[in-house]
């Protein structure tokens, strides 16, 4: 546990056994939530810091596991913490806001927020368009495509699952690019300057694959942006950009000329 979390733990220890002894005291789960919220407000716990586990809260507050679990669930629902299965609970980063109209490099967005960026490339391979994938780019079955799947991380948290199909004739080196060092967006905008962009955003419940890749909590929805881009009169890329619904929001701003 880092020094910030340790400081918060001492604060929690100091309240152990006090909640519930007075009829005017709040319920135990509320006391736990308030203690962690206060530690965040006072700077004792910062984004990314680990918070006490369910078992630790049971011991420190002398409560049942059900009570500790409720406190953590409600902290998660309010966006104060994020819970990672098999790892623990952590103070959440402020919810990032993605630009929906402007096409930006996600790595730059994350770094501008003062956070570390890293990518994990799950797949980047060449394949032939099938009856399912050919319509995505409006090409005949059998056309050479590249298919990439990349998980983008902000600090230690997965913030975007990017699945993209790219027309190989426009980006012949796509399959050889190291996308841990540069993003597909950065590469494609350099070799195929944007001419037209189409966006569609929807909220949905994730499938098991997406749930695992983004480290989602049970029942957590996602925001999925479908993005198609054209260059020199050709549709060159079809991408699904999927974000955890509780840790991300999209915005757009524009001016209207008189």
- Sequence-distant (6+) residues with CB within 8 A of 176 are none
Q: What is the DSSP letter of 122?
A: E
Report yes or no on 159 lying in a domain.
yes
pLDDT computed for residue 232 by the predictor: 82
pLDDT computed for residue 97 by the predictor: 43
Crossing angle of the two packed helices 54-61 and 28-41, in degrees rounded to 10: 110
**DSSP output for 14-34:** HTTTTTTSSTTSPPHHHHHHH
222-248: pLDDT as tens digits: 999 999 999 888 899 999 999 988 766
Residues above pLDDT 90, as percent of the chain: 40
pLDDT tops 60 at residue 160: yes
pLDDT computed for residue 200 by the predictor: 87
User: 79 and 103: one domain?
Assistant: no
Torsion of CA 78, 81, 84, 90, to 10 degrees: 180
Tell me the three state secondary structure of residue 177. coil
Give phi and psi for 107, each to the nearest 5.
-60, -40
Report yes or no on 258 lying in a domain.
no
Q: How confident is the model at residue 105 (pLDDT cuts 50, 70, 90)?
A: confident
**Once rounded to an integer, what is the mean pLDDT over residues 158-168?**
94
User: 157 and 69: one domain?
Assistant: no
Q: Which long-range contacts (CB under 8 A, 24 or more apart) does 40-45 make?
A: 40/80, 40/91, 43/4, 44/4, 44/7, 44/8, 44/11, 45/4, 45/5, 45/7, 45/8, 45/91
Task: Please report, for the domain that includes residue 156, its CATH number.
Answer: 3.40.1410.10
pLDDT computed for residue 208 by the predictor: 93
User: 80 and 169: one domain?
Assistant: no
User: 73 and 172: one domain?
Assistant: no
Q: Which long-range contacts (CB under 8 A, 24 or more apart) does 74-81 make?
A: 74/29, 74/33, 75/33, 75/36, 75/37, 75/51, 76/217, 76/246, 79/246, 79/247, 80/36, 80/37, 80/40, 81/36, 81/51
Report yes or no on 40 lying in a domain.
yes
Report yes or no on 257 lying in a domain.
no
Pick the closest to residue 125 from 163, 75, 78, 79 (CA basis). 163
User: 8 and 136: one domain?
Assistant: no
Both tokens assigned to 163: 């699945």
Please provide the average confidence, as pLDDT, over all residues in the chain. Answer: 81
User: 80 and 159: one domain?
Assistant: no
User: 7 and 34: one domain?
Assistant: yes
Given 32, 57, 91, the domain boundary residue is 91
Q: Compare 9 and 204 and report the one with higher pLDDT.
A: 204
Report yes or no on 57 lying in a domain.
yes
pLDDT computed for residue 249 by the predictor: 57
Q: How confident is the model at residue 127 (pLDDT cuts 50, 70, 90)?
A: very high
Q: How confident is the model at residue 24 (pLDDT cuts 50, 70, 90)?
A: low
Q: Compare 258 and 181 and report the one with higher pLDDT.
A: 181
Query: Which ranges of 42-83 would DSSP assign to H, the alpha helix?
Result: 54-61, 65-77
Q: What is the DSSP letter of 182?
A: S
pLDDT tops 80 at residue 93: no
pLDDT computed for residue 113 by the predictor: 75
User: 153 and 65: one domain?
Assistant: no
pLDDT computed for residue 23 by the predictor: 52
Q: How confident is the model at residue 106 (pLDDT cuts 50, 70, 90)?
A: confident
Range of the domain at 36: 3-91
Report yes or no on 256 lying in a domain.
no
**Once rounded to an integer, what is the mean pLDDT over residues 97-117?**
68
DSSP bridge partners of 82: 90
Half-sphere exposure of 217 (CA within 13 A, CB side): 17
Q: Compare 217 and 84 and report the one with higher pLDDT.
A: 217
How many structural domains is the chain composed of? 2
A 10 A CB-CB count for 128 gives 12
pLDDT computed for residue 248 by the predictor: 60
Tokens 């979390």 sit at which residue?
A: 5
Pick the closest to residue 217 from 54, 77, 33 (CA basis). 77
Pairing assessment for the beta strands 97-99 and 117-128 based on DSSP bridges? unpaired
Given 65, 91, 117, the domain boundary residue is 91
Report yes or no on 242 lying in a domain.
yes
User: 119 and 242: one domain?
Assistant: yes
Given 46, 76, 91, the domain boundary residue is 91
pLDDT tops 80 at residue 91: yes
User: 118 and 200: one domain?
Assistant: yes
User: 242 and 126: one domain?
Assistant: yes
User: 145 and 102: one domain?
Assistant: yes
Both tokens assigned to 63: 């409560």
């Amino acid at each position: 546990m880092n020094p910030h979390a340790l400081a918060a733990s001492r604060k929690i220890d100091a309240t152990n056994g006090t909640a519930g002894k007075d009829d005017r005291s709040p319920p135990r789960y509320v006391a736990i939530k308030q203690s962690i919220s206060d530690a965040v407000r006072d700077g004792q716990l910062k984004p990314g810091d680990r918070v006490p586990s369910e078992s630790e809260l049971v011991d420190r507050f002398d409560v049942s596991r059900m009570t500790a679990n409720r406190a953590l669930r409600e902290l998660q629902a309010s966006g104060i913490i994020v819970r990672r299965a098999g790892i623990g609970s952590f103070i959440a980063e402020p919810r990032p806001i993605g630009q929906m109209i402007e096409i930006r490099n996600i790595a730059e967005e994350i770094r501008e927020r003062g956070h570390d960026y890293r990518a994990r490339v799950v797949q980047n391979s060449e394949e032939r368009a099938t009856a399912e994938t050919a319509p995505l780019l409006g090409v005949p079955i059998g056309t050479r495509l590249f298919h990439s799947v990349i998980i983008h991380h902000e600090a230690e948290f997965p913030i975007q699952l990017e699945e993209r199909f790219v027309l190989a004739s426009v980006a012949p080196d796509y399959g050889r690019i190291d996308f841990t060092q540069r993003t597909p967006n950065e590469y494609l905008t350099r070799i195929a300057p944007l001419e037209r962009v189409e966006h569609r955003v929807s909220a949905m419940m994730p499938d098991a694959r997406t749930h695992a890749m983004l480290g989602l909590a049970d029942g957590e929805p996602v925001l999925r942006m479908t993005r198609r881009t054209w260059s020199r009169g050709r549709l060159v890329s079809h991408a699904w950009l999927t974000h955890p619904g509780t840790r991300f929001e999209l915005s757009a701003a524009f001016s209207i000329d008189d």
